Amino acid sequence: MIPAPFDYVAAESTTHALDLLDSLGEDAKLLAGGHSLLPMMKLRLATPAALIDIGRLTELIGIRSDGDELVIGAATPHAAVAGSDLVRADAPLLAHSAAQVGDPQIRHRGTIGGSLAHADPAADLPMALVALGGRVDLLSQDGTRSVAADDFFTGFFETSLEPGELIASVRVPRQPGAAWGYQKFVRRANDWAIVGAAAINGRIALANMGPTPLRARAAEQALADGASPAEAAELAAEGTEPGEDVHADRDYRRHLARVLTRRALENRT
């Protein structure tokens, strides 16, 4: 219930944050909204020696358009993404996804960068980013690099973030008017998805069907080959090895993946 002791420093800028990451090393973690990290620390599943608070760096907060992409600062809270007129117009799947995270209080604090860095395969935003084919801008003392969503989530709660890197911003394609669907299957409000599915533009992403958010590639291929949503969705679970827990065993998860994919392809939320 109480985190193990740690040192804390509020970064004054992203440059400062990067300096601190460098000097404090791998025992330091970045803190933005803290609503992925602090719950882990309170259960002592994470025990960083130091926290570098980037939560109030204005250069990491905000939403703007940049050509054919929307750019969202990594420390932008979910509530801001969910309520943004710009996101709702140009990437409504993302706005909807952000509005599904946890509950209102959690959405006031949790950030898009924090959620993506945490990389919970059952979470909303990783699935949404994969569905949208977005990318993350990673900043380090060596400069910036951009990683596509398909490449960013590398394993169970693992990303391609290197030591000394932070997520500066998240980019998603602007697709006003594109049909989209989003399904988050829960047993009880404010749960993580037992299984989730998001679909837009021929891309289908699944949550909690494996160690990372997954593309339902067989279903996507079927769609591209002219299959109907129902037919394509039959292939949604192909190649997946979902985990088992109190809510769902493997068979039931695979079944849900098929049903939810069909519903997402029918543009249902």
Strands in the chain per DSSP E: 7-10, 28-31, 50-53, 63-66, 69-73, 135-140, 143-148, 153-155, 158-159, 166-173, 180-185, 195-200, 203-207, 214-215
| 190 is a site residue for another protein (CB under 8 A) | yes
264/251 Cα distance (integer angstroms): 20
Is 158 in a helix, a strand, or coil? strand
Please say which residue, 212 or 261, places its beta carbon nearer to another protein: 261
Instruction: Out of 125, 248, 257, 265, point to the residue binding another protein (CB under 8 A).
Output: 248
| 16 is a site residue for another protein (CB under 8 A) | no
Interactions with another protein, residue window 113-152 (CB under 8 A): none
DSSP 8-class letter at 187:
S
- Closest distance to another protein from the beta carbon of 261 (Å): 12
Instruction: Out of 13, 22, 26, 42, point to the residue binding another protein (CB under 8 A).
Output: 42
In 10 A of CB 62, how many CB atoms? Answer: 14
The token pair that represents 218 in the structure block: 């067989």
Q: How many residues does the chain have?
A: 269
Taking contact as CB under 8 A, which single stretch among the options 98-106, 141-149, 173-181, 228-236 is the one that binds another protein? 98-106
Instruction: Out of 194, 204, 206, 216, point to the residue binding another protein (CB under 8 A).
Output: 194
92/82 Cα distance (integer angstroms): 9
Binding mask 196-235 for another protein (x = CB under 8 A): ----------------------------------------
241/169 Cα distance (integer angstroms): 31
| 106 is a site residue for another protein (CB under 8 A) | yes
Interface residue list for another protein (CB under 8 A): 1-8, 10, 31, 34-35, 38-39, 42-44, 51, 53, 55-56, 79, 102-106, 108-109, 185, 187-191, 194, 245-249, 252, 255-256, 259-260
